[in-house]
Chains A and B, each alone.
Chain A
Amino acid sequence: MGDAHSHDDDHSELGPMDLRVRALETVLTRKGYVDPEALDALIETYQTKIGPRNGARVVARAWVDPAFRQWLLADATAAIASLGYSGRQGEHIVAVENTPARHNLVVCTLCSCYPWPVLGLPPAWYKSAPYRSRAVKDPRGVLADFGVRLSDATEIRVFDSTAEVRYLVIPQRPDGTDGMSEEALSELVTRDSMIGTGLARSPGAP
Chain B
Amino acid sequence: MTAPTDSRSAPIATRDYRSQADLGGRDGYGPVVPEPEGENFHAAWEPRALALTLAMGATGAWNLDESRSARETLPDYAALSYYGIWIAALEKLVVAHGLAGVDELSAGRVLRAARPLARMLRAPDVAATLARGSPTERPAQRPPRFAIGDAVRTRSDSVAHHTRLPGYARGRNGRIEHFRGVHVFADMHAHGAGEDPQWLYTVVFTGNELWGGDAQPGTSVSIDAWEPYLEAAP
| CB 8 Å contact bits of A1-14 with B (1 = contact, 0 = none) | 00100000000000
Contacts of A88 in B (CB 8 A): 54, 129-134
Contacts of A94 in B (CB 8 A): 178, 180
B220 touches A157 (CB 8 A): yes
**Within 8 Å of chain A (Cβ to Cβ): is B56?**
yes
Contacts of A52 in B (CB 8 A): 37
B133 touches A155 (CB 8 A): no
**Within 8 Å of chain A (Cβ to Cβ): is B16?**
no
B72 touches A111 (CB 8 A): yes
In whole angstroms, how far apart are the Cα atoms of A76 and B43 in the complex?
34
B166 (CB) vs chain A CBs: closest residue: A109
- Interface size class on chain A is 35 or more
B22 CB, nearest partner CB in chain A, Å: 6
**Within 8 Å of chain B (Cβ to Cβ): is A202?**
no
B55 touches A138 (CB 8 A): no
- Complex interface residues of chain A between 6 and 37 (CB less than 8 A to chain B): 15, 17-28, 30-35, 37
**Within 8 Å of chain A (Cβ to Cβ): is B232?**
no
Contacts of A83 in B (CB 8 A): none
Contacts of A107 in B (CB 8 A): 24
- B39 in complex: contacting residue of A91, A123, A130, CB < 8 Å: A123
Known: A91-B136, A127-B82, A139-B219. A45 touches B127 (CB 8 A): yes
| CB 8 Å contact bits of A177-194 with B (1 = contact, 0 = none) | 000000000000011100
In whole angstroms, how far apart are the Cα atoms of A136 and B32 in the complex?
13
**Within 8 Å of chain A (Cβ to Cβ): is B225?**
yes
- Complex interface residues of chain B between 112 and 128 (CB less than 8 A to chain A): 114, 117, 120-123, 125-127
| Residue of A45, A125, A145, A163 most packed against chain B (CB within 10 A) | A163
**Within 8 Å of chain B (Cβ to Cβ): is A99?**
no
A110 touches B71 (CB 8 A): no
B99 touches A163 (CB 8 A): no
Known: A32-B114, A38-B121. A21 touches B87 (CB 8 A): yes
Known: A121-B40, A136-B210. A130 touches B108 (CB 8 A): no
| Residue of A3, A32, A134 most packed against chain B (CB within 10 A) | A134
- B55 in complex: contacting residue of A42, A191, A192, CB < 8 Å: A42
- B109 in complex: contacting residue of A27, A42, A45, A127, CB < 8 Å: A27
**Within 8 Å of chain B (Cβ to Cβ): is A120?**
yes
**Within 8 Å of chain B (Cβ to Cβ): is A70?**
no
| CB 8 Å contact bits of B172-214 with A (1 = contact, 0 = none) | 0000001011011010000000000000101010000011001
**Within 8 Å of chain A (Cβ to Cβ): is B105?**
yes
In whole angstroms, how far apart are the Cα atoms of A118 and B39 in the complex?
16
| CB 8 Å contact bits of A96-115 with B (1 = contact, 0 = none) | 00000000000101111000
A37 (CB) vs chain B CBs: closest residue: B123
Known: A125-B32, A163-B180. A136 touches B25 (CB 8 A): yes
Known contacts A30-B110, A129-B23, A160-B166, then 14 further A-B pairs from the complex at CB < 8 Å, ordered by chain A residue:
A24-B91, A35-B122, A39-B48, A42-B126, A86-B131, A91-B133, A130-B31, A134-B29, A145-B32, A157-B204, A162-B224, A162-B225, A163-B200, A165-B180
The 10 closest A-B pairs by CB, nearest first: A109-B24, A23-B108, A37-B123, A87-B133, A163-B224, A31-B114, A39-B51, A41-B126, A21-B45, A87-B131
Contact sample, A vs B, 26 pairs, CB 8 Å cutoff:
A3-B44, A18-B43, A18-B45, A25-B48, A33-B55, A34-B52, A38-B55, A43-B47, A47-B40, A88-B130, A111-B71, A130-B30, A130-B31, A133-B25, A134-B29, A136-B24, A137-B214, A146-B32, A156-B216, A156-B218, A157-B204, A157-B221, A162-B225, A165-B202, A190-B37, A197-B34
